[in-house]
Structure 1
Amino acid sequence: MFADVLSVQDHLSLAARWGAHDSEPYPVVLAQGEGAWVTDVDGRRLLDFHGGYSAINFGHRHPALIAAAKAQLDRLTLSTRAFHHDQYGPFCQELAELTGTDMVLPSNSGSEAVETALKIARKWAYRVKGVPDEAAEIIVAADNFHGRTVTILSFSTDPRHRAGFGPFTPGFKVVPYGDIDALRSAITANTAAVLLESVQGQVGVIVPPKGYLADVRALCDDNNTLFIADEVQCGLGRTGTTLALDHEGVRADLYTLGKSLSGGLLPVSAVVGRGDVLGLIKPGDHGSTFGGNPLACAVGRAAIRLLATGKFQECSRELGAYLHARLDELDGVTEVRGRGLWAGVQIDERRIAGRRVTEELAARGLLCTESNGHLRVAPPLVVTREEIDFGVRVIADVLA
């Protein structure tokens, strides 16, 4: 089946020679995927505990998503926003109804959605709140990860991401994540918005202290300030609810969504939220050639229909509890954090560490990622109990 493809080493050499070195992939070359499994170019099957950073929530090549893409490919793929098309309005309505919001502004990448939300928040501050021109401030959390554009790097606290890319965009304040007193001290009359991940992913799947997000909401209300929830990675079923903020019974003014909004088929993202805030964007204020294109909307609508059943949220809740319990049993694990089918697994510093962990896991048939001493475990939401058992056994073997 794979006799006509290049070898793993051939692929690695081609990527090293011709591709810009923007990342450091593990030495695995994937060729196929189905459900919770992938197959490399040598025909070896591996269980996916990575999940495309939550982009593949519905599993690789979910039939409903593939069918929607194939049908739309035969009809129309791009019109740009210069014209209407027959997928745009239904996509916006269905996503708003799924998330309980008023309005949708589609885009492509998660970073683009965050950048859009920042623009909207600043315009709201000037037009509605009455902040003096050029004085709007946005408060963010330390250890955040919202993307890698220059503006977003301006408020990153990871020096590895910032080094060599300044000067940076002004107008941001950084406070510790989960510290409501620090946030209260940082808010001023010029604060346009507070931007937070509902669960911080990059630094190890950090769930904020109980009541923190509700306190953020109340503080924003008291100070006439927008609350923007970045749910590009933690939203749309990953934590066991449609939106991760739903765990706290809290509503944001704006949400940024992406990744699994297309189930991993193509880049699709959006800002959703209050109509009186998103409605401030007028023709000419913003735009995107591919944002809200027919193919993206068709696939996004299929993903929305899957989420509307509630099945994937239920699987994340039930199997997530099982996954966390199994990971907690492992020798060499000091802490398991997270919600639903999403876990940050802290490894004892005396055990195998760094890239060696994930390389050993891959060699034994499990895809996972590691950062700063923790594994990030995020299998597709179609994973089974038996597949979880397999993955946990592999982790146990590597940590032994």
Structure 2
Amino acid sequence: MTRALNKLTAQAAKAAAPGKISDGGGLWLHKRDDGGSQWVLRVVVHGRRREMGLGGYPTVSLREAREAADKWRGMVRQGLDPIKERERQRREAERNIHLLKDIALDAFESRKAELKGDGTAGRWFSPLELHILPKLGKVPVADIDQRDIRDTLAPIWHTKADTARKAINRLGICLRHAAALGLDVDLQATDKAKALLGKTRHKPTNIPAMNWREVPAFYQSLNGGTGTELALRLLILTAVRSHPLRHLRLDQIDGDVWTIPGEAMKGRRDATPDFRVPLSREALAVIEQAKPFARDGFLFPGIRKGVISDMTMGKFMDRRGLEARPHGFRSSFRDWTAEATNTPREVAETCLGHTAGGAVERAYRRTDFIEQRHALMERWSATLKADNRKVVAISIAAEQ
């Protein structure tokens, strides 16, 4: 057998006429009439003859062709089909190229247009970045299974249930993105992981909120004239979320109406997404007081750049020894409307920017109750400015 190998020389291979020339051991050089040449290895696997291309000549030299032939003949001796084995190795190499971290970034880029502010706040990507990618980021996405996901999220599955839920949902999106790219992934891996992890024991807690009867005293204590205090006052007066309040621009205010762009409103998908906020006389007075602080069009700028942070307002309340958070004033306002007024539910919910009613009802209702909300916000500001004795009297009357 050894004598039958390596029949060709480099010079003979170069000078050979068109046709098939054997180098021995099943290695052939096929020279075509058009001048092209191809190395072919013929082997018999499981009683079936297989022909395997090893590349073009002279790009693949005689020495390289012999080395490749030796490698694949070794596979045949192990009972493996060299063509199938080469395909398996090619797929393995492709899996190694498509790491989860790269797929996650590509999925994020594809979804930026759907996210508020093109995802610059980082809330979509951060669950992946903090809890998935440190352990699985360098793993080929096709290799990720439910056990990998379970082991990654087990430490936070019960202690940080909401964060873990977001992380596993984002990972599911990444796996679907990989499948759309043509990669061989297990689309059920996240569901299987949830089954392995079990039901979470963690019970979600609401954001701490101040009782509405205590809000007037707190509101009236915000009399230092600082930007943080004025931001908190306007937050309480309007019952909006922190993000649009902190990003309030002077050009969004027209008379006694503040129009929040739709992209700044959480979860809104309306055909006309902008949200109008009625401004009471007290709210307009607070805005006038805040104007000297304005910078780059923002009414509540940060100390160095950008806008005031939610943490700044939260820390102010911490220093006052309060458990309540800035976002909780929305709950305070909603409780006030329910306990101290006869405001229709759809009006109160619209004040908070919530979608009230079913799909059919919303399709026929085209109003945002701006006039009713104006009157309601004037009553709310009057409650906030009233002395404690009047507030107590109001609460007692509401309970009777």
TM-score under structure 2 length normalisation: 0.25
More strand by share: 1
Rg comparison, structure with higher value: 2
Q: Which structure has more RCO (C-alpha within 8 Å, separation ≥ 6)? A: 1
Q: Which structure features the higher share of helix residues?
A: 2
**TM-score using structure 1 length:** 0.25
